[in-house]
Every structure is written in structure tokens, then in C-alpha cells.
Amino acid sequence: MQHLNIKVYGLVQGIFFRASAKEQADKLRLTGFAQNMSDGSVYIEAEGEKKNLDKFVKWCNLGPTMAQVEKVETSESSLKNFNGFEIS
């Protein structure tokens, strides 16, 4: 199990990025959360198997159809043992 902090920059708010991220996370059996940030980015914390997190980060670089992702930053941190994937 691994924990990633992910920050997605670009046109990523108001286009269902968080809802689409939850859908992807659920498919990949990841837990965590996604939230809009005041700077226009989306911040995500996700936990799960490394191979599934890698797939999720690849998806974050594309996002849903209307997204225009400019940059994705990731960093590892300690597990928080989330119960599911939430949108906040």
C-alpha cells in the first residue's frame, strides 16, 4: 500500500474532474479524497496498490474530456487508511 498527494493544475475545476477522479479511484480500488483548491487546482490524496496508483496518476494527466491538464505534481506520504474515496 502507498499514499500519494497529487496536485493537478490547468482547467480542472467546473468540469467534473473530482467526480471523474472518484469514478476512476473506485474502479482502481483506491481510497482518499479530491478537493478544489483556491488557486484553481485540484488536490487529491489517494491510497492503494502502487500499480493502481500509477494508473490513476496517468489518468490525472489526462482527466475527463473537458479538462486541460497543464501539470501534475505527486509526492508520497504516510498512509492514512481512508475508508473510501470522497469528494470534498
| Catalytically annotated residue among 5, 18, 29, 61 | 18
> What's the one-letter identity of residue 3?
H
61 is catalytic: no
| Catalytically annotated residue among 5, 29, 36, 81 | 36
* List of residues 6+ apart from 10 with CB closer than 8 A: 63, 67, 68, 69, 70, 71
29 is catalytic: no
Report, as residue numbers or ranges, the catalytic residues.
18, 36
